[in-house]
Structure 1
């Protein structure tokens, strides 16, 4: 049999906890020795580190090797073991068909010599792939049961990077990071956007545990997680009290989830340059006013056309309007009426926390129900029968949440309007918008006098929430 002129060495390991690729390094060393013993020339080495061959995840280097085999650039394959090549019988059939079409018959492994060019070799390869697939399935089930048991005991799981706010043991609180998290939570509950908080963290030089900069997806995952509230989650469901100390209270976590739920329902985003975005209505047609710039002047305008649906008959300069309404909000913070009204809103906030807990429980139950059906523990008829009442409760709770309020943006601010007025310009746009939205429901802008060069307060008709 002719010696290969350009063999491919393929190495793979499913899990590399250390990140040092020691497993694939040992595989490569043994494969190189096997090539040398047979006098084969190695054309290239293909390595997929920390990627499973059982879960169906893409393996970039494996695919590149297949492309090179199909293109005639490689004429043999060396692996440490056949299960490094594939653990799926179907994938093995695809590999053998490709080798047959490309004329590749020599596939060697350190642990077994397989000749795909004859029936006996192909039969042996199929047996090895079937055994590997069955063992992977059993191992996956064992790991899932172990992970569930660990979670129910309130113990931490593993991972490449420690969770922010905790030491490497995932149990001990890192006080410096914990204080940063508490500040981030306070800012978020006060109305600041995740984007703005990430900017603050990056400007302060605070890095993630991976050593990178903060992004909203990373921050949001931490804010929503049960971990920082002393709760152990498994597949997104709280299953036990955690064995590690909490960084924030469970009440704060419910408030955080409430903010995210409100954002999801209303589909709102933080303002970028206009503090009154979404709060103004046209006095002619009732449509929402949009932000716009004419030359260097910021304005709020009623836009006509199919995308906006307004009449196009109202426009007002942004700066004096924002100053006027902000002054009105700050003045109301010092009134007795607002303090009394807020007491009622606090009760509504408590009600919201209860509703959120109920919503989370029902969503978790829905998820568990789906898992039971996927595992064939219940029939489709049983799944549909159980799903109906849960979906009805979820819809009812969401309707009640739509009517609930959240007044955390005003924590510590009642009676401080005069003092806050002096600090107003130092607050970022997110914080200003959160305070205004907590007090102002919306404002209708009436038509102005043609040629007027100053703001006419009579044009502004505010409707207060508090």
Structure 2
């Protein structure tokens, strides 16, 4: 008869905290200490300790510590899993079902510091694990719903969801605190928007801000991404966006002072989102170096874009740049001669008495298209509110969104094309006898913006005559307006 004592059970300790604000892991350490004390008091052998800090179990995110526990269970290395409460281990429905099946098959029990121990080797224990886990899940979901409702309430009342960021500062404390403009930062934001609408490039603005030592968000140097982000925030125009980018996206008036107008925000966002500025997320080559590449100048034969190539030898003084058909090489023309011709035609038109009215274009048309885009977005926002209030279900919201989204995108695209991309001050400075002087002072990016605003298209045709010299008849200049 064997009278030797049974071996001590082997256990793994597991601790998890959903949200660790300080990042110091105090909560999981406290849970592990309690689990360790329990194991020592019962004379158990602790095989491993696993933790998941600042990880929610409800959302199904990967939990490395949890995965380690299951690996030990599968390998038959432990008889018990020790936790503070079952909610630390079994909160997600899918993971709970898988864990109950695995632990039951391996005859591994769950031991809790606070709560009921669970023997998963029998039906009663597995059933209790499922019921307790479901209550834990319900508790988490109710909390999430409260948090979501509070966030929606803040949005409807125009309150920011956290700090507003660059351009504002909090004035006061507690519930009486309000956001006010931080004057120096606010002026930087307005300056960035004005300069973009004035035709300057992100690259040039970024370099200038860093050269002048203008403080950037988060005390870092300015980059093109941060300049773009600062310029295009809805908060700049005093707008509070809730669920940005989702089907339920809704916009409300904010409670903080606007730094720019809604119209300026819409124009700068349309400007920076324009497809001619980017190709697969990369700035199109040559767009900052040449006047007529990428959309302004086109091949008169095949309609393709123009690129710039070099002909001749610099050492022999015969090197020169040519506008070439980027698609098939149909045409080639001296870049400097074409640019000079374009300048002359544009300056002649801008020097006329009616130049300013012509530059401003049909504001009524742009306004009508803009109102149509806003009307459609308001209808989508109303549908999102009806879903939040329980008037319609998720299937109905999806149908409404699927129908309105394409209409909104078309209307906003048409609005961007109808709306001028240059600000009024720049347009006024260009109109009149001083047009040529002002043009020569402008950066290349600003000149391109002027031509894009005018809707200018330069067709480079094949030459009709043979012989040396530039033939101006081989270049056709067309206006999309007036």
TM-score by length of 1: 0.77
**In 2 relative to 1, CA 391–176 (structure 1 residues): closer, same or farther, beyond 3 Å?**
closer
- Picking from 15, 27, 32, the partner of 1:10 is 15
Equivalent residues of 2:299, 2:461 under 8 A apart: yes
Equivalent residues of 1:326, 1:436 under 8 A apart: no
**In 2 relative to 1, CA 386–107 (structure 1 residues): closer, same or farther, beyond 3 Å?**
closer
**Matches for 1:49-448 after TM superposition, within 5 Å:** 49=54, 51-63=55-67, 65-67=69-71, 70=74, 77-100=81-104, 103=106, 105-112=108-115, 113-158=117-162, 162-167=164-169, 171-194=179-202, 197=205, 204=213, 206-209=215-218, 220=228, 222-236=230-244, 237=249, 239-259=251-271, 263=275, 271-276=287-292, 277-291=294-308, 299-303=322-326, 308=327, 310=328, 312-318=329-335, 320-322=337-339, 324-326=341-343, 328-330=345-347, 332-343=349-360, 345=361, 347-348=362-363, 351-366=365-380, 368-369=382-383, 372=386, 377-378=391-392, 394=408, 397=411, 401=415, 404-408=418-422, 410-415=426-431, 416-424=434-442, 427=443, 429-439=444-454, 441-448=456-463
Q: Tell me, which stretches of 5 or more residues in structure 1 are unaligned?
A: none
State the Cα distance separating 1:341 from its structure 2 match: 0.9
Task: Return the alpha-carbon distance in structure 1 between the equivalents of residues 221 and 40 of structure 2.
Answer: 46
Q: Secondary structure at the match of 1:43?
A: strand
**In 2 relative to 1, CA 75–221 (structure 1 residues): closer, same or farther, beyond 3 Å?**
farther
Equivalent residues of 2:91, 2:133 under 8 A apart: yes
Q: Secondary structure at the match of 2:271?
A: helix
TM-score by length of 2: 0.75
Q: Secondary structure at the match of 2:301?
A: coil
Equivalent residues of 1:332, 1:417 under 8 A apart: no
Equivalent residues of 2:50, 2:66 under 8 A apart: no
Q: Secondary structure at the match of 1:278?
A: coil
- Flag the structure with larger Rg: 2
Equivalent residues of 1:290, 1:300 under 8 A apart: yes
**In 2 relative to 1, CA 205–45 (structure 1 residues): closer, same or farther, beyond 3 Å?**
farther
Equivalent residues of 1:330, 1:420 under 8 A apart: no
Equivalent residues of 1:373, 1:383 under 8 A apart: yes
State the Cα distance separating 1:326 from its structure 2 match: 4.5
Q: Secondary structure at the match of 2:161?
A: coil
Equivalent residues of 2:237, 2:262 under 8 A apart: yes
**In 2 relative to 1, CA 389–62 (structure 1 residues): closer, same or farther, beyond 3 Å?**
closer
**In 2 relative to 1, CA 384–138 (structure 1 residues): closer, same or farther, beyond 3 Å?**
closer
Q: Secondary structure at the match of 2:241?
A: strand
Task: Return the alpha-carbon distance in structure 1 between the equivalents of residues 309 and 83 of structure 2.
Answer: 63
Equivalent residues of 2:86, 2:133 under 8 A apart: yes
Equivalent residues of 1:8, 1:44 under 8 A apart: yes
State the Cα distance separating 1:257 from its structure 2 match: 4.2
Q: Tell me, which stretches of 5 or more residues in structure 2 are unaligned?
A: 1-5, 171-176, 313-318
**In 2 relative to 1, CA 390–286 (structure 1 residues): closer, same or farther, beyond 3 Å?**
closer
Over aligned residue pairs, what C-alpha RMSD do you find?
4.2
Task: Return the alpha-carbon distance in structure 2 between the equivalents of residues 286 and 354 of structure 1.
Answer: 31
**In 2 relative to 1, CA 47–396 (structure 1 residues): closer, same or farther, beyond 3 Å?**
closer
State the Cα distance separating 1:443 from its structure 2 match: 0.6
Q: Secondary structure at the match of 2:17?
A: strand
Partner of 2:48: 43
Equivalent residues of 2:10, 2:77 under 8 A apart: no
State the Cα distance separating 1:436 from its structure 2 match: 2.8
Equivalent residues of 1:48, 1:62 under 8 A apart: no
State the Cα distance separating 1:131 from its structure 2 match: 0.5
